[in-house]
Chain A
Amino acid sequence: MRVMTSRARAAIFAPIGDEGRAARVENRLAEAIRSGVLAHGERLPSEPELAQMLGVATVTAREALVALRAKGLVVTTRGRGGGSFVRAPESGDLVEDRLAAMSRVELRDRATVYLVVLTGCAEIAAERTDPDEVEDLRDLLIPLNVSDVARWRSADSELYLSVAALTQSARMTREVVRQEADFGALLRIPLNEPGFREATATRHQELVEALAAGDAVRARESVREHVAHSLERLAEIHEAVRR
């Protein structure tokens, strides 16, 4: 443990330096574009203006803009009325971009937190759920013949959020809200595959039945299988986008 601690401390107190500044500028602007703070079509300040505002060299601002252009978050036009303009990402692109930017280690790291939190919720919820609450959950399940992927994704998200809420803990629920925003969108990428949807529907059903029966072990197991299967598919997709 001592080694880890001193290594971590060394990383914290290492000089920051100038390297990575362009990446920081890029990240800040990318976040602003993805969150909609900078709106689609909005004109960005010129390179020198941007550099001055952010307190970096012009070449650094330029480097950041090149990277944003490569990610499709900024479009640059030449000539009169030209400049750099914000291009809002499609929601699908955004998720895939995030996945592409992630290492395998990070993917597993986030998945582990998600798994532990969600299986824990299922276990506690099974002990506390009563019949009419189970009925509300049943209404969230969608028929297999629905092919609208967005609907599957939101139903899946809402089911797990509802299970979190059944723990009766507001802090736990807020943690799951954060997990869903952070990692849930990635885990739901495979829902565009019909076979995966079928398996998901089965596990949703199992989870609701386990909660109805007050069976904490089965509830936990069902979530565990769901996350494991999602991750298995996601690892394949990750491999494809990273290659």
Chain B
Amino acid sequence: MTKTMTPIDCVTQVEQHFGPIVTELERVRSEVAALFEAGPVTTASLRERLEPGSLEFLRNPNLIGGGFVVAPGVLTDRRLYLVWWQGEERDFLGDADAPGTGEAIDYTRQPWYRTPERTGELTLVGPYVDFVCTDEYVMTTTMPVYVGGRMVGVAGADTLVETLETMLLPGLREAGATLVNGHGKAIVSADPQLATGSPLTTARDMIPCRGLPLSVALS
């Protein structure tokens, strides 16, 4: 423990958090694909299929929630549905209603849904305030799931920005570094004046994290 954290160590720490998330999303993807390939899917059969594995994965306290969100019209009994568990008690979400109107929020416009739909790839959205699921300041990882060439939804998991700060700031401080998202915005920084969500104004050397749209910037 005498060794100080280097920027490379910070990259490793980031990968140790997000790597297992990616593995889990791949697992959910194959579960969901198998279920849809076997015939018509209902809200109940989807939840039943995913619940044990997802709750097991969500024993990781560094996650605020996760699950699978359906594409409109793929379930036989509901147009929109979030097979999603979140919060300390891992409460089941199911529907997300808009405040005031009480209507279901059409989450298909949210970047965490739309981006993987457009790119077909693993997506990391945030930091942003999520008012559909958690009502928290989060980073959301999502992965599209395809069955017969059609997207049936996205598998995903949320991490609180606060969790990332607690987890990564000590190391970043020692390394004098900043964790940066794919849009060049700070997530957690050794610099106390560099607020989460602000763009890095000066050009810096960046070390990319493997398989993730994240980098560690040196000061």
Contact = CB atoms under 8 A, between A and B. Distances in A.
Interface of A: 91, 128, 130, 132, 136, 139-140, 150, 153-154, 157-158, 161-162, 164-170, 172-174, 177-178, 180-181, 184-185, 188
A168 B197 contact: yes
Contacts of B185: 130
Contact of A158 (B105, B127, B196, B199): B105
Greatest chain A CB density within 10 A among B101, B131, B183, B185 is at B101
B103 interface: yes
Interface residues of B, number: 24
Contacts of A185: 100-101
B136 interface: yes
B146 interface: no
A184 B136 contact: no
Q: Per DSSP, are chain A's interface residues mostly helix, strand or loop, or mixed?
A: helix
Contact of A165 (B99, B100, B129, B199): B129
Nearest to B130: A165
A139 B101 contact: no
Given A165-B129, A168-B128, A174-B135, 19 more contacts: A91-B102, A130-B183, A130-B185, A130-B199, A139-B109, A150-B101, A157-B100, A157-B101, A161-B131, A162-B131, A167-B129, A168-B127, A168-B137, A168-B197, A169-B137, A170-B135, A173-B129, A173-B131, A181-B100
A166 B183 CA distance: 15
A185 B99 CA distance: 8
Interface of B: 98-103, 105-106, 109, 111, 127-131, 135-137, 183, 185, 196-199
A177 B98 CA distance: 8
Given A158-B105, A165-B131, A170-B129, A184 B100 contact: yes
A169 B197 CA distance: 11
Contacts of B99: 157, 161, 177-178, 180-181, 184
A-B pairs, 7 with minimum CB distance: A184-B100, A181-B99, A165-B129, A180-B99, A180-B100, A185-B100, A173-B129
A198 B66 CA distance: 40
A177 B99 CA distance: 6
B129 A168 contact: yes
Nearest to B127: A168
Contacts of B198: 128
A150 B103 contact: yes
B98 A154 contact: yes
A157 B129 contact: no
A132 B135 contact: no
Nearest to A135: B111
A230 to B, nearest CB: 13
Contacts of B128: 165, 168
Greatest chain A CB density within 10 A among B98, B99, B135, B196 is at B99
B16 to A, nearest CB: 25
Nearest to B138: A170
B184 to A, nearest CB: 10
27 contacts: A91-B101, A91-B102, A130-B183, A132-B183, A139-B109, A150-B103, A153-B101, A154-B101, A154-B106, A157-B99, A162-B131, A165-B129, A166-B129, A167-B129, A168-B129, A168-B137, A168-B197, A170-B137, A173-B131, A173-B135, A177-B99, A178-B99, A180-B99, A180-B100, A181-B99, A185-B101, A188-B100
A130 B197 CA distance: 10
Contacts of A132: 183
A162 B109 CA distance: 11
Nearest to B128: A165
A127 B5 CA distance: 34
Contact of B129 (A139, A169, A178, A184): A169
